[in-house]
A and B are shown apart, each in its own frame.
Chain A
């Protein structure tokens, strides 16, 4: 049960609950006259097959993992965006050259944002308390979370590749510090989100 995939807090709560139940069964066996060791061994047999019980928790853990990834992205996205905006605004005043070179990058950015938010909302519905399609909802939730992660990785890569060089050419310690913070935030989130998306896809393959 300690290897149950998913968020650590949800796993700890399940293990705590099962431990309480197992100990209750063992204590009941002792009251019937068995020694402690035999009571515990019998309790483990009476509890049932551990892999089967763990598999039965998979839908719950899948939904929890998907929600965890989506909420992390919903929280960090405005922060990362704000850091890039402040880096862009902190460059020298009076410069007429824009950071974005035209409507195409604006459209691409808007589509990326829309796709990311759409995946996130879809995942929250699929991972919710009363999903519309309960039998496939956990699979859909994990896929939605992985997709949202993929779009966020694409967005961070785009920000780093499109904005780092143009913004780095502007002088000033404040601007450089702001740019450094934005790059660090995007780079860190890119690595963590890639790992999270991969873990969601790996979890889909488990049941």
Chain B
């Protein structure tokens, strides 16, 4: 899938990947890859600026730990992030239903 198609939905995708448990950057990318059945395979580095932006917006929070001698930053959803994810899911349902209807080629009932 083209990267441009994913860009507009990256925030929602990242929020959804954090719904089950806190994850660090690489684990988030693996979760996105696995969850999309390899349809989304973005460069790993692109996720970090997006996560920082989500944290500044109060949708995720991060904390540092040390793993195998390396500093690791792990992210988790905030309550505000969970609310935003619910809203995004609702918006997506409406949007995808509308687009599916249009792309299916079914008669719309509109007169020329």
Q: A20-B72, A25-B26 are in contact. Are A130 and B45 (CB under 8 A)?
A: no
Answer whether residue B43 sits at the interface, using C-beta atoms and an 8 A cutoff. Answer: yes
Known: A25-B26, A57-B52, A60-B52. A129 touches B46 (CB 8 A): no
B56 touches which one: A20, A23, A48, A130 (CB < 8 A)?
A130
Does B25 count as interface, using CB distance less than 8 angstroms? Answer: yes
Q: Which residues of the other chain, A, contact B56 by a CB distance below 8 angstroms? A: 60, 63, 129-130
A2-38, CB under 8 A of B: which get 1 and which 0? 0000000000011011111111110010000000000
Q: Which of B44, B57, B58 contacts A21 (CB 8 A)?
A: B44
> Across the interface, which residues of B come within 8 angstroms of A57, CB to CB?
48-49, 52
Q: Would you call B70 an interface residue if the criterion is a C-beta within 8 Å of the partner chain's C-beta atoms?
A: yes
For B24, what are the chain A residues with a Cβ–Cβ distance below 8 Å? 20-21
* Nearest A residue (CB) for B70: A20
Majority secondary structure, A binding face: helix
**SS of B interface (majority):** helix
Tell me, in angstroms, the Cα distance from A14 to B45 when the chains sit together.
Answer: 11
B73 at the interface (CB under 8 A from A): yes
Residues of B contacting A63 with CB < 8 Å?
56
Q: Are A48 and B58 in touch, CB under 8 angstroms? A: no
A74 adjacent to chain B (CB < 8 Å):
no
| A47–B58 CA distance with the chains assembled, in angstroms | 26
In whole angstroms, how far apart are the Cα atoms of A206 and B46 in the complex? Answer: 20
CB within 8 Å of B: which A90-149 residues: 129-130
Which residues 37-66 of B sit at the A interface, judged by CB distance below 8 A?
Answer: 43-46, 48-50, 52-53, 56-58
Q: B71 at interface (Cβ–Cβ under 8 A)? A: yes
- Interface of A toward B, CB cutoff 8 Å: 13-14, 16-25, 28, 46-50, 52-53, 56-57, 59-60, 63, 129-130
Q: Is the CB of B73 within 8 A of A25?
A: no
Q: Is the CB of A23 within 8 A of B46?
A: no
> Could you tell me if A21 and B43 are in contact, using CB atoms closer than 8 angstroms?
no
A-B contact pairs, 26 of them (CB 8 A): A13-B73, A16-B71, A17-B25, A17-B73, A19-B70, A20-B24, A20-B72, A20-B73, A21-B48, A22-B44, A25-B26, A46-B43, A46-B44, A47-B43, A47-B44, A47-B45, A48-B43, A48-B46, A49-B43, A49-B45, A50-B45, A59-B53, A63-B56, A129-B58, A130-B57, A130-B58
